[in-house]
Chain A
Amino acid sequence: MDGYYAFMLVATLLVLMMTVPALALFYGGMSRSKSVLNMMMMSFVSAAIVGILYVLVGWSMGFGGDGVFFANPFELFALDGVATSDYIFVMFQMTFAVITAALISGAIADRVKFSAWLLFLPIWAFLVYFPMAHMVFSCTDEALICTKIGAQDYAGGTAVHINAGVAALVLVLVVGKRLGFRREPMRPHNLTLTMLGAGMLWMGWYGFNVGSIVFTGSNDEENMAQFFSETGRTFANTTMATMAAILGWLIIERLLHGKATSLGAASGIVAGLVAITPAAGAVNISGALAIGVVAGAVCAWAVSWKFRLGYDDSLDVVGVHLVGGIIGTVLIGLFSTSAGAGGIDGLFYGGGVDSLVDQTLGVLVAIAYSGILTAVIALAIKFTLGWRVTEEAEVEGIDFDQHGESAYDLHTSLSPSGSTGVLATATKSTEGANA
Protein backbone atom coordinates (compact mmCIF):
# COMPACT_ATOMS: atom_id res chain seq x y z
CA MET A 1 0.00 0.00 0.00
CA ASP A 2 2.00 2.97 -1.31
CA GLY A 3 -0.12 5.58 0.47
CA TYR A 4 0.67 3.96 3.77
CA TYR A 5 4.34 4.87 3.48
CA ALA A 6 3.49 8.48 2.66
CA PHE A 7 1.18 8.44 5.68
CA MET A 8 3.95 7.12 7.95
CA LEU A 9 6.46 9.66 6.61
CA VAL A 10 4.12 12.49 7.57
CA ALA A 11 3.33 10.93 10.95
CA THR A 12 7.03 10.51 11.70
CA LEU A 13 7.82 14.11 10.77
CA LEU A 14 5.00 15.30 12.99
CA VAL A 15 6.31 13.38 15.99
CA LEU A 16 9.85 14.62 15.38
CA MET A 17 8.43 18.15 15.34
CA MET A 18 6.97 17.51 18.79
CA THR A 19 10.44 17.46 20.34
CA VAL A 20 12.23 19.93 18.10
CA PRO A 21 10.91 22.56 18.27
CA ALA A 22 7.48 22.09 19.93
CA LEU A 23 8.53 20.72 23.33
CA ALA A 24 11.58 22.99 23.37
CA LEU A 25 9.29 26.01 22.92
CA PHE A 26 6.69 24.75 25.38
CA TYR A 27 9.27 24.14 28.09
CA GLY A 28 11.51 27.05 27.10
CA GLY A 29 8.73 29.58 27.55
CA MET A 30 7.88 28.23 30.98
CA SER A 31 11.44 28.44 32.27
CA ARG A 32 13.09 31.64 33.47
CA SER A 33 14.81 33.96 30.99
CA LYS A 34 18.23 33.01 32.35
CA SER A 35 17.61 29.28 31.72
CA VAL A 36 15.64 29.12 28.48
CA LEU A 37 18.50 28.07 26.22
CA ASN A 38 19.56 25.28 28.57
CA MET A 39 15.96 24.07 28.69
CA MET A 40 15.73 24.01 24.91
CA MET A 41 19.14 22.36 24.59
CA MET A 42 17.97 19.51 26.79
CA SER A 43 15.33 18.69 24.17
CA PHE A 44 17.72 19.15 21.26
CA VAL A 45 20.36 16.80 22.65
CA SER A 46 17.72 14.25 23.56
CA ALA A 47 16.98 14.09 19.87
CA ALA A 48 20.65 13.67 19.00
CA ILE A 49 21.70 11.14 21.63
CA VAL A 50 18.60 9.02 22.03
CA GLY A 51 17.96 9.10 18.29
CA ILE A 52 21.38 7.68 17.41
CA LEU A 53 21.27 5.12 20.21
CA TYR A 54 17.81 4.04 19.06
CA VAL A 55 19.07 3.18 15.60
CA LEU A 56 22.13 1.40 16.99
CA VAL A 57 20.43 -0.81 19.60
CA GLY A 58 16.97 0.56 20.45
CA TRP A 59 15.06 -0.88 17.53
CA SER A 60 16.72 -4.23 18.09
CA MET A 61 15.82 -4.22 21.80
CA GLY A 62 12.25 -3.22 21.04
CA PHE A 63 11.39 -5.18 17.94
CA GLY A 64 14.36 -7.45 17.24
CA GLY A 65 12.84 -10.59 18.74
CA ASP A 66 11.07 -12.03 21.73
CA GLY A 67 11.64 -11.41 25.42
CA VAL A 68 9.71 -10.51 28.56
CA PHE A 69 11.52 -7.21 29.11
CA PHE A 70 13.53 -6.65 25.93
CA ALA A 71 14.95 -8.34 22.88
CA ASN A 72 18.64 -8.82 22.00
CA PRO A 73 20.22 -5.36 21.51
CA PHE A 74 22.74 -6.72 18.99
CA GLU A 75 20.41 -8.84 16.86
CA LEU A 76 19.71 -5.90 14.56
CA PHE A 77 22.62 -3.66 15.62
CA ALA A 78 22.66 -0.44 13.54
CA LEU A 79 19.71 -1.86 11.59
CA ASP A 80 21.87 -4.66 10.21
CA GLY A 81 19.41 -7.06 8.61
CA VAL A 82 16.52 -4.57 8.58
CA ALA A 83 15.10 -3.91 5.10
CA THR A 84 15.45 -0.26 4.11
CA SER A 85 11.75 -0.31 3.26
CA ASP A 86 11.16 -0.77 7.00
CA TYR A 87 13.34 2.18 7.97
CA ILE A 88 10.33 4.48 8.21
CA PHE A 89 8.93 2.32 11.03
CA VAL A 90 12.29 2.53 12.78
CA MET A 91 12.30 6.30 12.40
CA PHE A 92 8.73 6.55 13.66
CA GLN A 93 9.60 4.58 16.77
CA MET A 94 12.81 6.56 17.18
CA THR A 95 10.82 9.79 17.48
CA PHE A 96 8.89 8.25 20.40
CA ALA A 97 12.13 7.45 22.22
CA VAL A 98 13.43 10.96 21.58
CA ILE A 99 10.41 12.79 22.97
CA THR A 100 9.99 10.50 25.97
CA ALA A 101 13.51 11.30 27.16
CA ALA A 102 13.08 15.00 26.39
CA LEU A 103 9.83 15.15 28.38
CA ILE A 104 11.73 14.34 31.58
CA SER A 105 13.94 17.42 31.27
CA GLY A 106 11.14 19.81 32.26
CA ALA A 107 11.18 18.48 35.81
CA ILE A 108 14.82 19.38 36.42
CA ALA A 109 14.93 22.76 34.68
CA ASP A 110 17.30 25.49 35.84
CA ARG A 111 19.73 23.49 37.98
CA VAL A 112 21.34 20.50 36.30
CA LYS A 113 24.77 20.22 34.72
CA PHE A 114 24.52 19.74 30.98
CA SER A 115 27.11 16.97 31.25
CA ALA A 116 24.96 15.09 33.78
CA TRP A 117 22.00 15.24 31.38
CA LEU A 118 24.23 14.04 28.53
CA LEU A 119 25.27 11.07 30.66
CA PHE A 120 21.75 10.32 31.87
CA LEU A 121 20.17 10.23 28.40
CA PRO A 122 21.84 7.17 26.85
CA ILE A 123 21.83 5.14 30.07
CA TRP A 124 18.16 5.85 30.73
CA ALA A 125 17.17 5.17 27.13
CA PHE A 126 19.07 1.87 27.13
CA LEU A 127 17.93 0.57 30.51
CA VAL A 128 14.46 2.08 30.78
CA TYR A 129 12.90 3.35 27.55
CA PHE A 130 13.95 0.65 25.08
CA PRO A 131 12.79 -2.21 27.35
CA MET A 132 9.57 -0.38 28.16
CA ALA A 133 8.88 0.16 24.47
CA HIS A 134 9.39 -3.56 23.95
CA MET A 135 7.08 -4.48 26.82
CA VAL A 136 4.33 -2.18 25.50
CA PHE A 137 4.63 -2.00 21.72
CA SER A 138 6.15 -5.33 20.71
CA CYS A 139 3.22 -7.64 21.29
CA THR A 140 5.21 -10.85 20.93
CA ASP A 141 4.56 -14.02 22.90
CA GLU A 142 6.39 -12.85 25.96
CA ALA A 143 6.28 -9.03 26.09
CA LEU A 144 5.22 -8.18 29.63
CA ILE A 145 2.70 -5.36 29.43
CA CYS A 146 1.18 -5.97 26.00
CA THR A 147 1.03 -9.76 25.93
CA LYS A 148 1.36 -11.23 29.40
CA ILE A 149 -0.75 -8.61 31.19
CA GLY A 150 -2.82 -7.68 28.17
CA ALA A 151 -3.02 -3.95 28.92
CA GLN A 152 -3.99 -1.74 25.99
CA ASP A 153 -1.74 1.19 25.14
CA TYR A 154 -2.41 2.62 21.72
CA ALA A 155 0.36 5.20 21.44
CA GLY A 156 2.32 5.18 24.66
CA GLY A 157 0.43 6.12 27.81
CA THR A 158 2.63 3.73 29.76
CA ALA A 159 5.78 3.61 27.63
CA VAL A 160 5.94 7.34 27.05
CA HIS A 161 4.00 9.37 29.60
CA ILE A 162 3.91 7.29 32.77
CA ASN A 163 7.49 6.28 32.03
CA ALA A 164 8.68 9.89 31.62
CA GLY A 165 6.52 11.10 34.52
CA VAL A 166 7.87 8.55 36.98
CA ALA A 167 11.45 9.19 35.84
CA ALA A 168 10.82 12.93 36.33
CA LEU A 169 9.54 12.35 39.86
CA VAL A 170 12.54 10.21 40.75
CA LEU A 171 14.97 12.75 39.29
CA VAL A 172 13.54 15.71 41.20
CA LEU A 173 13.78 13.73 44.42
CA VAL A 174 17.41 12.83 43.73
CA VAL A 175 18.48 16.17 42.24
CA GLY A 176 16.71 18.39 44.78
CA LYS A 177 14.88 21.70 44.66
CA ARG A 178 15.87 24.85 42.83
CA LEU A 179 17.37 27.51 45.08
CA GLY A 180 14.53 29.69 46.28
CA PHE A 181 11.79 27.15 45.53
CA ARG A 182 8.58 28.26 47.27
CA ARG A 183 10.30 31.49 48.42
CA GLU A 184 10.82 33.47 45.24
CA PRO A 185 8.64 33.74 42.15
CA MET A 186 9.70 31.46 39.31
CA ARG A 187 7.31 32.73 36.73
CA PRO A 188 7.33 31.52 33.12
CA HIS A 189 9.40 34.08 31.22
CA ASN A 190 7.56 33.94 27.90
CA LEU A 191 4.10 32.44 27.72
CA THR A 192 3.81 33.22 24.01
CA LEU A 193 6.54 30.64 23.35
CA THR A 194 4.67 28.21 25.58
CA MET A 195 1.37 28.76 23.73
CA LEU A 196 3.15 28.31 20.39
CA GLY A 197 4.85 25.14 21.63
CA ALA A 198 1.60 23.74 23.01
CA GLY A 199 -0.15 24.39 19.69
CA MET A 200 2.64 22.66 17.80
CA LEU A 201 2.52 19.73 20.23
CA TRP A 202 -1.18 19.38 19.50
CA MET A 203 -0.50 19.25 15.76
CA GLY A 204 2.44 16.88 16.16
CA TRP A 205 0.43 14.58 18.41
CA TYR A 206 -1.66 13.46 15.44
CA GLY A 207 1.49 11.82 14.14
CA PHE A 208 1.94 10.23 17.53
CA ASN A 209 -1.58 8.85 17.90
CA VAL A 210 -2.84 8.39 14.36
CA GLY A 211 0.52 7.07 13.16
CA SER A 212 0.37 4.44 15.88
CA ILE A 213 -2.03 2.50 13.70
CA VAL A 214 1.25 0.83 12.73
CA PHE A 215 0.71 -1.41 15.79
CA THR A 216 -2.78 -2.55 14.88
CA GLY A 217 -1.72 -4.44 11.78
CA SER A 218 -4.50 -3.01 9.64
CA ASN A 219 -2.15 -1.60 7.08
CA ASP A 220 -2.33 -4.07 4.24
CA GLU A 221 -4.47 -4.03 1.11
CA GLU A 222 -7.17 -6.32 2.52
CA ASN A 223 -7.80 -4.14 5.51
CA MET A 224 -8.28 -0.74 3.89
CA ALA A 225 -11.69 -0.25 5.47
CA GLN A 226 -10.29 -1.02 8.90
CA PHE A 227 -7.37 1.31 8.24
CA PHE A 228 -9.69 4.20 7.46
CA SER A 229 -11.86 3.38 10.43
CA GLU A 230 -8.91 3.23 12.82
CA THR A 231 -7.26 6.43 11.62
CA GLY A 232 -10.55 8.31 11.67
CA ARG A 233 -11.42 7.13 15.15
CA THR A 234 -7.97 7.93 16.51
CA PHE A 235 -7.91 11.38 14.91
CA ALA A 236 -11.38 12.27 16.20
CA ASN A 237 -10.70 10.94 19.70
CA THR A 238 -7.42 12.84 19.91
CA THR A 239 -9.16 16.05 18.91
CA MET A 240 -12.17 15.71 21.17
CA ALA A 241 -10.17 14.75 24.25
CA THR A 242 -7.85 17.72 23.79
CA MET A 243 -10.68 20.18 23.41
CA ALA A 244 -12.44 18.78 26.46
CA ALA A 245 -9.24 18.92 28.48
CA ILE A 246 -8.73 22.63 27.74
CA LEU A 247 -12.18 23.30 29.16
CA GLY A 248 -11.64 20.96 32.11
CA TRP A 249 -8.42 22.72 33.08
CA LEU A 250 -9.88 26.21 32.67
CA ILE A 251 -13.00 25.42 34.69
CA ILE A 252 -10.95 24.11 37.62
CA GLU A 253 -8.65 27.12 37.42
CA ARG A 254 -11.56 29.53 37.37
CA LEU A 255 -13.14 27.81 40.35
CA LEU A 256 -9.96 27.50 42.42
CA HIS A 257 -8.11 30.68 41.50
CA GLY A 258 -10.61 33.02 39.90
CA LYS A 259 -8.98 33.29 36.46
CA ALA A 260 -8.81 31.15 33.34
CA THR A 261 -5.17 31.51 32.25
CA SER A 262 -3.30 31.04 28.99
CA LEU A 263 -0.85 28.69 30.71
CA GLY A 264 -3.90 26.72 31.85
CA ALA A 265 -5.15 26.40 28.28
CA ALA A 266 -1.71 25.34 27.04
CA SER A 267 -1.41 22.84 29.89
CA GLY A 268 -4.92 21.52 29.25
CA ILE A 269 -3.92 20.76 25.67
CA VAL A 270 -1.00 18.65 26.82
CA ALA A 271 -2.95 16.95 29.63
CA GLY A 272 -5.72 15.93 27.22
CA LEU A 273 -3.27 14.67 24.63
CA VAL A 274 -1.36 12.68 27.22
CA ALA A 275 -4.51 11.04 28.55
CA ILE A 276 -5.99 10.14 25.16
CA THR A 277 -2.68 8.73 23.90
CA PRO A 278 -3.17 5.20 25.30
CA ALA A 279 -6.92 5.28 24.68
CA ALA A 280 -7.05 6.84 21.22
CA GLY A 281 -7.86 3.56 19.47
CA ALA A 282 -9.90 1.97 22.25
CA VAL A 283 -12.72 4.38 23.05
CA ASN A 284 -15.57 6.13 21.23
CA ILE A 285 -16.22 9.88 21.10
CA SER A 286 -18.07 9.96 24.43
CA GLY A 287 -15.20 8.12 26.07
CA ALA A 288 -12.67 10.52 24.55
CA LEU A 289 -14.61 13.55 25.79
CA ALA A 290 -14.85 12.04 29.27
CA ILE A 291 -11.16 11.14 29.41
CA GLY A 292 -10.24 14.62 28.19
CA VAL A 293 -12.30 16.57 30.66
CA VAL A 294 -11.26 14.37 33.59
CA ALA A 295 -7.58 14.67 32.61
CA GLY A 296 -7.80 18.45 32.24
CA ALA A 297 -9.52 18.91 35.58
CA VAL A 298 -7.44 16.43 37.60
CA CYS A 299 -4.10 17.57 36.15
CA ALA A 300 -5.02 21.21 36.88
CA TRP A 301 -5.44 20.18 40.47
CA ALA A 302 -2.47 17.79 40.51
CA VAL A 303 0.13 20.40 39.53
CA SER A 304 -0.29 22.02 42.94
CA TRP A 305 0.86 18.84 44.69
CA LYS A 306 4.48 19.87 44.34
CA PHE A 307 3.89 22.83 46.64
CA ARG A 308 2.02 20.73 49.19
CA LEU A 309 4.42 17.79 49.13
CA GLY A 310 7.54 19.91 48.70
CA TYR A 311 9.18 18.37 45.62
CA ASP A 312 10.33 20.75 42.93
CA ASP A 313 9.07 19.44 39.59
CA SER A 314 9.94 22.66 37.75
CA LEU A 315 7.56 22.46 34.79
CA ASP A 316 5.06 19.92 36.18
CA VAL A 317 6.06 16.81 34.27
CA VAL A 318 4.67 14.69 37.11
CA GLY A 319 1.39 16.60 37.39
CA VAL A 320 0.74 16.50 33.66
CA HIS A 321 2.44 13.40 32.20
CA LEU A 322 2.38 10.92 35.08
CA VAL A 323 -1.10 11.87 36.26
CA GLY A 324 -2.48 12.30 32.73
CA GLY A 325 -0.90 9.03 31.61
CA ILE A 326 -2.40 7.13 34.53
CA ILE A 327 -5.85 8.66 33.94
CA GLY A 328 -5.87 7.71 30.26
CA THR A 329 -4.48 4.23 30.79
CA VAL A 330 -6.80 3.31 33.67
CA LEU A 331 -9.94 4.85 32.14
CA ILE A 332 -9.54 2.52 29.17
CA GLY A 333 -10.80 -0.10 31.62
CA LEU A 334 -14.05 1.86 31.85
CA PHE A 335 -14.53 3.36 28.39
CA SER A 336 -13.00 0.81 26.01
CA THR A 337 -15.39 -0.59 23.41
CA SER A 338 -15.02 -3.81 21.48
CA ALA A 339 -15.34 -1.82 18.25
CA GLY A 340 -11.93 -0.32 19.01
CA ALA A 341 -8.48 -1.55 18.06
CA GLY A 342 -8.13 -3.76 21.14
CA GLY A 343 -11.54 -5.39 20.67
CA ILE A 344 -12.26 -5.23 24.40
CA ASP A 345 -15.35 -3.91 26.18
CA GLY A 346 -14.60 -1.91 29.33
CA LEU A 347 -16.69 -1.81 32.48
CA PHE A 348 -19.16 0.77 31.14
CA TYR A 349 -19.77 -1.30 28.00
CA GLY A 350 -20.56 -4.57 29.72
CA GLY A 351 -17.06 -5.99 29.75
CA GLY A 352 -16.74 -6.41 33.52
CA VAL A 353 -13.70 -5.44 35.54
CA ASP A 354 -11.14 -7.55 33.67
CA SER A 355 -9.93 -4.71 31.47
CA LEU A 356 -9.79 -2.33 34.43
CA VAL A 357 -7.60 -4.81 36.31
CA ASP A 358 -5.32 -5.33 33.30
CA GLN A 359 -4.93 -1.60 32.73
CA THR A 360 -4.16 -0.93 36.40
CA LEU A 361 -1.64 -3.74 36.44
CA GLY A 362 0.02 -2.28 33.34
CA VAL A 363 0.28 1.09 35.08
CA LEU A 364 1.82 -0.45 38.20
CA VAL A 365 4.41 -2.40 36.22
CA ALA A 366 5.37 0.74 34.28
CA ILE A 367 5.68 2.77 37.49
CA ALA A 368 7.74 0.10 39.24
CA TYR A 369 10.08 -0.60 36.33
CA SER A 370 10.72 3.03 35.47
CA GLY A 371 10.88 4.15 39.09
CA ILE A 372 13.38 1.58 40.31
CA LEU A 373 15.76 1.73 37.35
CA THR A 374 15.66 5.53 37.08
CA ALA A 375 16.49 5.75 40.79
CA VAL A 376 19.54 3.55 40.32
CA ILE A 377 20.78 5.63 37.37
CA ALA A 378 20.03 8.96 39.07
CA LEU A 379 21.85 7.98 42.26
CA ALA A 380 24.81 6.63 40.32
CA ILE A 381 25.18 9.98 38.57
CA LYS A 382 24.65 11.89 41.80
CA PHE A 383 27.55 10.14 43.52
CA THR A 384 29.93 10.26 40.56
CA LEU A 385 29.59 13.21 38.20
CA GLY A 386 27.05 15.06 40.37
CA TRP A 387 23.83 16.62 39.10
CA ARG A 388 23.88 20.22 40.25
CA VAL A 389 25.58 23.30 38.89
CA THR A 390 27.13 25.61 41.47
CA GLU A 391 24.85 27.84 43.52
CA GLU A 392 26.40 30.87 41.88
CA ALA A 393 25.67 29.51 38.41
CA GLU A 394 22.10 28.68 39.35
CA VAL A 395 21.42 32.17 40.67
CA GLU A 396 23.18 34.04 37.90
CA GLY A 397 21.89 31.85 35.09
CA ILE A 398 22.53 28.36 33.84
CA ASP A 399 22.51 29.52 30.20
CA PHE A 400 25.72 31.49 30.58
CA ASP A 401 27.33 29.03 32.98
CA GLN A 402 26.71 25.90 30.94
CA HIS A 403 26.59 27.20 27.38
CA GLY A 404 28.36 30.59 27.43
CA GLU A 405 25.28 32.21 25.95
CA SER A 406 22.30 34.30 26.94
CA ALA A 407 18.96 34.06 25.18
CA TYR A 408 18.09 37.71 24.91
CA ASP A 409 20.07 40.84 24.13
CA LEU A 410 17.65 43.64 24.88
CA HIS A 411 20.17 46.45 25.28
CA THR A 412 22.13 46.32 22.06
CA SER A 413 23.57 49.83 22.32
CA LEU A 414 25.28 49.06 25.61
CA SER A 415 26.15 45.43 25.11
CA PRO A 416 29.50 44.15 23.89
CA SER A 417 27.82 41.18 22.23
CA GLY A 418 26.70 43.24 19.23
CA SER A 419 30.13 44.62 18.58
CA THR A 420 33.19 43.45 16.69
CA GLY A 421 35.58 40.93 18.10
CA VAL A 422 38.19 43.59 18.71
CA LEU A 423 35.82 45.78 20.68
CA ALA A 424 34.53 42.77 22.59
CA THR A 425 38.08 41.93 23.58
CA ALA A 426 38.74 45.53 24.60
CA THR A 427 35.58 45.54 26.67
CA LYS A 428 36.59 42.34 28.34
CA SER A 429 40.01 43.69 29.29
CA THR A 430 38.40 46.86 30.67
CA GLU A 431 36.17 44.73 32.82
CA GLY A 432 39.21 42.85 33.96
CA ALA A 433 40.97 46.07 34.88
CA ASN A 434 37.97 47.23 36.85
CA ALA A 435 37.78 43.97 38.68
Chain B
Amino acid sequence: MKLVTAVIKPHKWEDVREALETFGVTGMTVSEVSGYGRQKGHTEVYRGAEYDIALVPKIRIEIVVDDGDVTDVVGIVVKTAQTGRIGDGKVWVSPVETVVRVRTGDRDEAAL
Protein backbone atom coordinates (compact mmCIF):
# COMPACT_ATOMS: atom_id res chain seq x y z
CA MET B 1 0.00 0.00 0.00
CA LYS B 2 1.05 3.52 -0.64
CA LEU B 3 0.04 6.94 0.64
CA VAL B 4 -0.44 9.37 -2.21
CA THR B 5 -0.21 12.96 -1.03
CA ALA B 6 -1.07 15.75 -3.43
CA VAL B 7 -0.85 19.49 -2.86
CA ILE B 8 -2.85 21.29 -5.54
CA LYS B 9 -4.44 24.63 -6.38
CA PRO B 10 -7.75 25.10 -4.56
CA HIS B 11 -9.74 25.76 -7.74
CA LYS B 12 -8.70 22.35 -9.11
CA TRP B 13 -9.98 20.43 -6.08
CA GLU B 14 -13.45 19.64 -7.45
CA ASP B 15 -12.06 18.39 -10.77
CA VAL B 16 -9.56 16.14 -9.01
CA ARG B 17 -12.18 14.75 -6.64
CA GLU B 18 -14.54 13.88 -9.49
CA ALA B 19 -11.78 12.21 -11.51
CA LEU B 20 -10.64 10.15 -8.53
CA GLU B 21 -14.19 9.06 -7.71
CA THR B 22 -14.78 8.05 -11.33
CA PHE B 23 -11.62 5.95 -11.16
CA GLY B 24 -12.94 4.23 -8.03
CA VAL B 25 -11.14 5.84 -5.13
CA THR B 26 -13.52 5.41 -2.20
CA GLY B 27 -12.08 7.74 0.40
CA MET B 28 -9.60 10.47 0.97
CA THR B 29 -8.57 13.06 3.53
CA VAL B 30 -8.56 16.66 2.41
CA SER B 31 -7.21 19.71 4.20
CA GLU B 32 -6.83 23.37 3.48
CA VAL B 33 -3.16 24.13 3.86
CA SER B 34 -0.78 26.93 2.97
CA GLY B 35 2.76 26.90 1.75
CA TYR B 36 5.05 27.87 -1.07
CA GLY B 37 7.29 26.37 -3.66
CA ARG B 38 9.92 27.82 -5.93
CA GLN B 39 7.72 30.67 -7.03
CA LYS B 40 7.32 31.88 -3.41
CA GLY B 41 4.07 33.70 -2.65
CA HIS B 42 2.56 36.90 -3.93
CA THR B 43 2.40 40.59 -3.07
CA GLU B 44 -0.58 42.31 -1.43
CA VAL B 45 -1.00 46.06 -0.92
CA TYR B 46 -2.66 47.59 2.15
CA ARG B 47 -2.83 51.39 2.22
CA GLY B 48 0.24 51.53 0.04
CA ALA B 49 2.29 49.12 2.15
CA GLU B 50 3.31 46.13 0.05
CA TYR B 51 3.48 42.82 1.89
CA ASP B 52 5.17 39.72 0.48
CA ILE B 53 2.81 36.93 1.35
CA ALA B 54 5.03 33.83 1.44
CA LEU B 55 2.29 31.31 2.13
CA VAL B 56 -0.38 30.77 -0.50
CA PRO B 57 -3.49 28.65 0.06
CA LYS B 58 -3.48 25.07 -1.28
CA ILE B 59 -5.50 21.90 -0.93
CA ARG B 60 -3.76 18.77 0.36
CA ILE B 61 -5.29 15.42 -0.57
CA GLU B 62 -4.18 12.21 1.12
CA ILE B 63 -5.22 8.80 -0.28
CA VAL B 64 -4.07 5.35 0.73
CA VAL B 65 -4.19 3.03 -2.32
CA ASP B 66 -3.24 -0.50 -3.39
CA ASP B 67 0.23 -0.75 -4.89
CA GLY B 68 -1.28 -1.54 -8.28
CA ASP B 69 -3.34 1.66 -8.38
CA VAL B 70 -0.56 4.07 -7.48
CA THR B 71 0.50 4.97 -11.02
CA ASP B 72 -3.10 5.54 -12.13
CA VAL B 73 -4.00 7.66 -9.13
CA VAL B 74 -0.90 9.81 -9.42
CA GLY B 75 -1.53 10.17 -13.16
CA ILE B 76 -5.14 11.24 -12.62
CA VAL B 77 -4.17 13.87 -10.04
CA VAL B 78 -1.40 15.29 -12.20
CA LYS B 79 -3.53 15.36 -15.35
CA THR B 80 -6.54 16.93 -13.64
CA ALA B 81 -4.75 19.47 -11.49
CA GLN B 82 -2.40 20.69 -14.19
CA THR B 83 -2.83 24.23 -15.52
CA GLY B 84 0.73 24.65 -16.79
CA ARG B 85 1.16 27.78 -14.73
CA ILE B 86 3.38 28.34 -11.74
CA GLY B 87 2.09 26.98 -8.41
CA ASP B 88 0.27 23.87 -9.72
CA GLY B 89 1.59 21.87 -6.76
CA LYS B 90 3.28 18.52 -6.07
CA VAL B 91 2.35 14.85 -5.70
CA TRP B 92 4.41 12.38 -3.74
CA VAL B 93 4.11 8.72 -2.80
CA SER B 94 5.17 7.14 0.48
CA PRO B 95 5.07 3.54 1.70
CA VAL B 96 2.37 2.55 4.21
CA GLU B 97 3.05 -0.35 6.61
CA THR B 98 -0.39 -1.04 7.99
CA VAL B 99 -3.94 0.29 7.73
CA VAL B 100 -6.64 -0.59 10.25
CA ARG B 101 -10.34 0.25 9.85
CA VAL B 102 -11.42 1.54 13.24
CA ARG B 103 -15.04 0.29 13.01
CA THR B 104 -14.27 -3.39 12.28
CA GLY B 105 -10.63 -3.93 13.02
CA ASP B 106 -10.03 -5.00 9.36
CA ARG B 107 -6.41 -4.66 8.33
CA ASP B 108 -4.51 -3.56 5.23
CA GLU B 109 -6.18 -4.11 1.78
CA ALA B 110 -9.45 -5.16 3.47
CA ALA B 111 -9.46 -1.87 5.33
CA LEU B 112 -9.19 0.35 2.25
Q: In the complex the two chains form, what is the Cα distance from A316 to B50 in whole Å?
A: 15
Please determine whether A261 and B45 come into contact, CB atoms closer than 8 angstroms. Answer: yes
Please determine whether B48 and A304 come into contact, CB atoms closer than 8 angstroms. Answer: yes
Tally A residues with Cβ within 8 Å of B: 19
Interface string of A292-317 (1 = CB under 8 A from B): 00000000110110010000000010
Q: How far is the CB of A192 from chain B (nearest CB, A)?
A: 14
Q: Is B44 an interface residue (CB 8 A)?
A: yes
Q: Is A142 an interface residue (CB 8 A)?
A: no
Q: How far is the CB of B42 from chain A (nearest CB, A)?
A: 12
Helix, strand, loop or mixed for chain B's interface? strand
Q: How far is the CB of B80 from chain A (nearest CB, A)?
A: 29
Residues of B near A258 (CB, < 8 A) are 45
Tally B residues with Cβ within 8 Å of A: 10
Q: Is A264 an interface residue (CB 8 A)?
A: yes
Question: Of A185, A187, A188, A253, which is within 8 A of B48 by CB?
Answer: A253
Residue of A whose beta carbon sits closest to that of B54 = A185
Q: How far is the CB of B35 from chain A (nearest CB, A)?
A: 16
Residues of B near A264 (CB, < 8 A) are 47
Residues of A near B48 (CB, < 8 A) are 253, 256-257, 300-301, 303-304
Q: In the complex the two chains form, what is the Cα distance from A188 to B47 in whole Å?
A: 10
Q: In the complex the two chains form, what is the Cα distance from A299 to B44 in whole Å?
A: 20
Interface residues of A in 171-197 (CB under 8 A from B): 185, 187-188
Please determine whether A267 and B47 come into contact, CB atoms closer than 8 angstroms. Answer: yes
Please determine whether A263 and B47 come into contact, CB atoms closer than 8 angstroms. Answer: yes
Residue of B whose beta carbon sits closest to that of A306 = B49
Q: A257-B50, A307-B49, A316-B47 are known contacts; what are 12 more A-B pairs with Cβ within 8 Å?
A: A185-B51, A185-B52, A188-B46, A256-B48, A261-B46, A261-B47, A263-B46, A300-B47, A303-B48, A304-B47, A304-B48, A304-B49
13 contacts between A and B (CB under 8 A): A185-B51, A185-B52, A187-B46, A253-B45, A257-B48, A257-B50, A263-B46, A267-B47, A301-B48, A303-B47, A304-B47, A307-B49, A316-B47
